[in-house]
Amino acid sequence: WSLNSCPRHKPKFTKYNIGSKHVLVKYKMNYIWTTYKWNSIITSRYPQENKGTYIPVPVVSELQSGKWGAKVIMREDRSVRLSVQSSPACIVGKFRMYVAVWTPYGVIRTSRNPETDTYILFNPWCEGKGLINAKDDEGVIVGSWDNAYAYGVPPSAWTGSVDILLEYKSSQKPVRYGQCWVFAGVFNTFLRCLGIPARIVTNYFSAHDNDANLQLDIFLEEDGNVNSKLTKDSVCSVTGKTQRWGTHTLLPLCGSGMYRCGPASVQAIKHGHVCFQFDAPFVFAEVNSDLVYITAKKDGTHVVETLDTTHIGKLIVTKEIGGDGIKDITDTYKFQEGQEEERLALETALMYGAKKALKTEGVLKSRSDVHMNFDVENAVLGRDLKVVITFRNNGSTRYTVAAYLSGNISFYTGVSKAEFKSETFDVTLEPLSFKREEVLIGAGEYMGQLLEQAFLHFFVTARVNETRDVLAKQKSIALTVPKVIIKVRGAQVVGSDMVVTVEFTNPLNETLRNVWIRLDGPGVTKPLRKMFREIRPKSTVQWEELCRPWVSGPRKLIASLTSDSLRHVYGELDLQIQRRPSM
């Protein structure tokens, strides 16, 4: 007999998700189906069963969790309907589908038909699918935010996703360590490898609403100091998320269980529809919550003093296409600050909030014409710096102000580690006057306690004595750190050797110990690293490597440096690799 003379069996449904249990495949037969044995076959172009590219799908009486199988759910005349279940371990991609039938005359299999090609899609909510976070499902990366990275690599040392994924593949164990931008970067690479369009989104001044009331509550003592016992919320200086194209755009960084974020609809976030799954309330608060300053009175009462409606979600960006610049996408996630739509979105979110927010409608507007702001000048690692607080009296009344400044070493998540500066001062403001107060901070006051990201968090409160108005501002400052210098000599041509030099000068007055320098350049060099036991103050180290590019076009080299006392040091160099001349 000829295969072409046999009846054609055409599946009517050929797209389904990994782990799906509700997909129907229908086959029309010219024989009575009860006289034959059935089997579905899913295969790639060059199939091998041991590599997962050839998959026999048995017809079984009951589907077993985590295993391939097909179950008959309907018999009708010359048709049979099957429910097909895939394995979470299945390779994501395009497969060819065939149906094999055991008959008294031998095995009959359908011929090649592109219309029945099956697309196995990635399913981030499949419980058998470990993803990026290792906390509860042995995913790729172990997270750590305590500035201690024993037996692992500090998050700031990674130069790209490739090194992390290769280590995970070779060791079959989660890689140590990562933080938000590392999770986002690896997940972005992961999605793009699956053919899912994705990009990294960065939110500056991102709120961590830990009590689920969709606003950031900062509790103050009566003297203006922050009450750390009552204040549970924090403001992350910068946070990274992965966005993919589709209805739910913020995807999770881990698998099933409690350690995850997303997916959450961007449109739901923008309009305050936090009733939608999965993490819309948390993400909404990250980008569009109000900062509420509350005085905790000694008698136990709480008084809402002032609001800051513009501090959270100052800027939301992604990388521009075809360059290293940033693209402002703030208006994708939130309406412009101050617009009626933006306030409506917040009111809608508060209506759906999991916990009742503190009422802020009755907060009185300032009864004085005093305004306050501050800036940090000369914020360079290892040097003295200056906090400049400015007061402006726009009215015709003389005012006196009692002010308080607090400087804290903070994690980039906004959580404070230790206070290194505390200062109070009084200011007298004549009518229609401007006054500037300066607070000097020596390098020795903060250097000994500095954390990985070199963030200093300053908080300034002031009370106008005549009106009892409270003014409050807070800012996180990233100290400027030295850079790694990368140089190249030799022809920048595919297949030709060139020498890459990595150079670093220690600008600090202390010796750096256990220094690791990493170098990476996709298409130019595989990930490399070198250790220096110490780098003395003001001294320079150099490291040379011979590289042979294998990809032409615009390329980039990136280097990172990490040590016991200095991290988050980077350098990069753009290259234009030419094609090898034809002979």
Residues of each annotated binding site for Ca(2+)? 288, 290, 337, 342
CA distances (Å), 324 to each of 153, 177, 180, 317, 327, in order? 26, 26, 20, 12, 10
Question: How far, in Å, CA of 113 to CA of 465, rounded?
Answer: 83
CA distances (Å), 345 to each of 166, 264, 282, in order? 43, 16, 14
Question: How far, in Å, CA of 466 to CA of 12, rounded?
Answer: 78
Give per-residue burial for 6-34: e unless 16+ CB within 10 Å, then b.
beebbbeebebbbbbeebebebebeeebe
Please answer whether residues 183 and 133 qualify as being in contact, where contact means their C-beta atoms are separated by less than 8 angstroms: yes
Question: How far, in Å, CA of 339 to CA of 342, rounded?
Answer: 5
Strand, helix or coil at 64?
A: coil
Residue 348: burial class (beta carbons within 10 Å; 0-12, 13-18, 19+): middle
Please answer whether residues 281 and 214 qualify as being in contact, where contact means their C-beta atoms are separated by less than 8 angstroms: yes
Question: How far, in Å, CA of 69 to CA of 526, rounded?
Answer: 41
Cross-strand pairs, 431 = none
SS3 assignment for 112-180:
CCHHHCEEEECCCCCCCCCCCECCCCCCCEEECCCCCCCCCCCHHHCCCHHHHHHHHHHHCCCEEEECH
SS3 assignment for 460-506:
EEEEECCCCCEEEEEEEEECECCCCEEEEECCCECCCCEEEEEEEEC
φ/ψ of residue 29, rounded to 5? -120, 150
User: Is the dihedral angle over the CA atoms 505, 509, 513, 518 positive or is it negative?
Assistant: negative
Structure tokens at 197: 């369009």
φ/ψ of residue 288, rounded to 5? -145, 20
C-alpha atoms less than 13 angstroms from C-alpha of 313 in its C-beta half-sphere: 26
Binding residues, as ranges, are 288, 290, 337, 342
Residue 148: burial class (beta carbons within 10 Å; 0-12, 13-18, 19+): exposed
